[in-house]
């Protein structure tokens, strides 16, 4: 069924849409990006935007980004781009509402037992944590970090004093923490990192415990190495900053995954990690057998 137009905008799906040649070319380029990074789907539109800027010379401006959003709105409605290939993190809904019966609950428990996980950092001397500036990056970073039981934090932009106080209390319980931080290389991103480091460290002086903050991305060296798209700082931003700016999402998804994976592996005791995996496997088998006996 065709969509119903409302105030000049499409609603629902669009049938028989024939985009202009320029728009069709853009949609084709988006399809190439989606195919190239199919292992990292869904992508945010911002991520696709930066890939187009680097790979095709797409206009790097807010106007260009707005145009891409409008084109992808229509392209998805016209079934030219899959809806599940693009992520929008602005929507939230509550989760579990209840079981349909005991059988469903039993099946769930058996599945959970077969996927039993331990805290794979349980024996490490230093607890690793990942912190990213952009909330939209969390799912991508989790794909890498979860296999090591490393948590990913993000509160977006400048973290509130409430957040930093709460995190300091959590870190104090962990005793020794190393925070791997990913954020934009611009006045805001640099100052967000500095503020987070200074404030949480100051709270920890009261609570006890140690925390080290390491800037993982984006660094000026990465900007040069990967030829990332850059822009001068905004003229209205008077905060101390030198050089050009770039966004963390300008790094390709596979490159961010590689950077994070290497950073984690270089900072944990891999022998202890492998031992935790073996212990996990033994405990999983024990739990599955127990549930089968209970059933």
Q: What is the pLDDT of residues 244-295, one digit of tens each?
A: 999 999 999 999 999 999 999 999 999 999 999 999 999 999 999 999 887 6
Question: 37: which DSSP letter?
Answer: T
Residue 183's nearest CA partner among 127, 225, 141 is 141
Q: Which residues of the chain have pLDDT under 70?
A: 1-8, 156-159, 295
Cα dihedral 242/244/248/249 (nearest 10): 170
Residue 222: the pLDDT is: 95
Residue 236: the pLDDT is: 85
Cα dihedral 268/148/152/53 (nearest 10): 90
Buried b (16+ CB within 10 A) or exposed e, 236-252: eeeeebeeebbbbbbbb
pLDDT exceeding 90 applies to what percent of the chain?
80
CB atoms within 10 A of CB 288: 14
Residue 66: the pLDDT is: 97
Q: What's the whole-number average pLDDT of the chain?
A: 92
Query: ω before 218 within 30° of 0 (cis)?
Result: yes
Cα-to-chain-centroid distance, residue 89? 10
Residue 89's nearest CA partner among 44, 50, 131 is 44
At the topology level, CATH places domain 115-279 in Dna Topoisomerase Vi A Subunit; Chain: A, domain 2 (3.40.1360)
Residue 157: the pLDDT is: 57
Distance CA 260, CA 266 (A): 10
Residue 268's nearest CA partner among 125, 135, 86 is 125
Residue 46: the pLDDT is: 93
Distance CA 181, CA 174 (A): 18
């Amino acid at each position: 069924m065709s969509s119903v137009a409302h105030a000049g905008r499409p609603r629902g799906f669009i049938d028989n849409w024939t985009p202009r040649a320029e728009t069709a070319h853009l949609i084709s380029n988006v399809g190439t990006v989606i195919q190239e990074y199919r292992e990292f789907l869904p992508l945010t539109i911002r991520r696709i935007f930066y890939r187009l800027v680097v790979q095709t010379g797409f206009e790097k401006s807010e106007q260009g980004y707005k145009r891409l959003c409008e084109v992808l709105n229509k392209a998805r409605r016209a079934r030219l781009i899959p809806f599940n290939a693009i992520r929008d993190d602005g929507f939230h809904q509550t989760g579990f509402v209840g079981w349909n019966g005991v059988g469903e609950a039993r099946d769930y428990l058996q599945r959970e037992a077969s996927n039993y996980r331990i805290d794979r950092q349980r024996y490490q001397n230093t607890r690793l944590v990942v912190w990213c500036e952009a909330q939209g990056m969390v799912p991508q970073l989790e794909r890498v970090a979860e296999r090591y039981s490393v948590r990913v934090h993000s509160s977006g932009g400048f973290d509130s004093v409430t957040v930093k106080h709460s995190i300091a209390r959590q870190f104090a319980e962990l005793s020794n923490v190393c925070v791997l931080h990913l954020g934009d290389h611009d006045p805001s991103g640099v100052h967000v990192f500095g503020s987070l480091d200074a404030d949480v460290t100051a709270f920890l002086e009261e609570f006890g415990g140690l925390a080290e903050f390491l800037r993982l991305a984006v660094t000026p060296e990465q900007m040069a190495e990967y030829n990332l798209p850059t822009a001068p700082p905004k003229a209205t931003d008077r905060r101390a900053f030198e050089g050009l700016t770039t966004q963390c999402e300008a790094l390709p998804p596979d490159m961010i995954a590689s950077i994070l994976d290497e950073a984690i592996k270089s900072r944990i005791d891999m022998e202890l990690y492998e031992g935790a995996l073996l212990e996990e496997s033994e405990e999983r088998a024990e739990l599955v057998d127990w549930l089968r006996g209970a059933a």
